[in-house]
Structure 1
Amino acid sequence: MTALPGIALDEWRAQGQGFTFKGHAIRYWVAGALDAEPLLLIHGFPTASWDWHYLWQALAQRYRVIACDMLGFGYSAKPRGHAYSLLEQADLQQALLAHLSISGPVHVLAHDYGDSVAQELLARHHEGRIQLASCVFLNGGLFPETHRPVLMQKLLLSPLGPLLGKLFSRGKLKANLNKVFGPHTPPSEAELDAFWSLIAHNDGPAVMHRLIRYMPERRQQRERWVAAMQKGGVPLRVIDGALDPISGAHMVARYRELIANADTVLLEQIGHYPQTEAPAEVLAHYLQFREWLEAKTCSDVLS
């Protein structure tokens, strides 16, 4: 497949805008036509919305793409002593949409930690608190029982967490990412520099042990979030790097067990970050999903 041109981190940062959420400064990015269908991109842990930079321009040609660095991530505020939660991050996504005066149906594309935020938004959709038009999940812990965290994540949850966060370094980031990327698609040194820059900004390692509380929160919300996926009414797809040791083929197998008529795509040689490891493939499978959705909508209207 043709490689997609990325966006250098400095250029990406310059395109960012800001708004305030609960007194905290949040950086966000918007591109595409104002009248295009909104597509909300939700990033993962421990990186930021730059994760989407390979897909950004191609998606912006078709949709109004929206992404923010969530609280505690990237170029957004990283308050010390804060009780970070996935539910609050869902509040943040809704606040961003409100800030942009978007009130109609929204499509969602999420990854990793962002999958859990998307699951909460899906649950809120069924409660009438937001309108979702579709949701596509990349590799993430959709089910606590299939999530296999790396050692660093486990240690961050332990009493050693505050110390380990402060000691976290570019070298440790490289070691951890090399374990979860596909063997043939490791992050480049330039990508590692960018990822580390985003994590280190505003002394981010000092709050990593607080952000990691999403793992027990996933267990607390499991029944609500799985029920939301099983309810139907919102088209779903999973596009998953099969070789990811955290949420790879084993997670997709569980998804197929629990979700009726499961729409899943396995990228056989790809790991945990398909949007940076195989962006052209992710784009093709995402656009195929949207084309199918549009064709189905037209068919439903005509029938």
Structure 2
Amino acid sequence: GKNKRIAFADGEDERVLRATQVVLEEGIARPILIGRPAVIEARIERFGLGIQAGRDFEVINPEDDPRYRDYVSLFHSLVGRNGVTPDTARTIVRTNTTVIGALAVKRGEADGLICGLQGRFIKHVRDIRSIIGLQPGISDASALSMLIMPRGAFFLADTYVNQNPSADELVSIALQARDHLKRFNIEARVALLSYSNFGSRDGDSAFKMREVYAKLKVAAPDLIVEGEMQGDLALNQELRERYVPETVLRGEANLLIFPDLDAGNIGYKITQRLAGFEAYGPILQGGDKPYLDLSRGASAKDIMVSGLLALIKARY
């Protein structure tokens, strides 16, 4: 793990600097910080941290990096036909640290990217997607969020990207999420969420989740999956068995698949705040290389854990 290189787009941020110290102390990875060296050095001194640029981590300086021209020409070759002129490309590669980090990953100079402490989430997703690209056969990125509570880890998708995914897209999101859980040595127990329990209600969303269930049974016969069902049934075997005594899902589901972005984002945020669980991610699924997009409220610990998640992805 310690030879993997994780790029941090917000390299001047105090939380990133504190996370960098932990990453180095624990021997987790080799950090690459994107930011102005003088600002990074001054802040390290101000916060009393024991890390040093060059010795402990690499810096990519947006204002003056020897690779600047190479980065610009790669960026323009990727987005030049999307209305980005060479002049605009030059400006973006000077000022947008997420783009710089994504280009470092694309060029093989970093193994994963962590970004998102500044700016809008979906903008980061678009920037990264246009540079790193998607895995073959994937129609779009999706977001997998993680909640850690005393009784275990729960994963939720899609919490940030796809507004109203089709049944086929939800099948793809569920299978990608299952693969992520495998990387953490966790067997996915999937609940397909709805306002309907096993055909009790009709409506577009309920029909869609029923279709997802049928398609997953064909695409992944060994997958532990149940639905469509309401959230309480997903987490309570006794309630679930009142509807389907023969359910394959035992105990609590640990991977919750939502019918649309409204449900996914609201469900995730409310659970996190009301219950005070530790929330990590989201991991962006579907990208050709590992990247994580943090929320603006992320702490140093969130950032460090996210580094670990990116690393686990980079190893596979």
| Fold equivalence (TM over 0.5) | no
Q: TM-score, normalised by structure 2?
A: 0.30
Higher helix proportion: 1
Normalising by structure 1, we get a TM-score of 0.31
Between structure 1 and structure 2, the one with the greater Rg is 2
Structure with more relative contact order (C-alpha pairs < 8 Å, separation 6 or more): 2
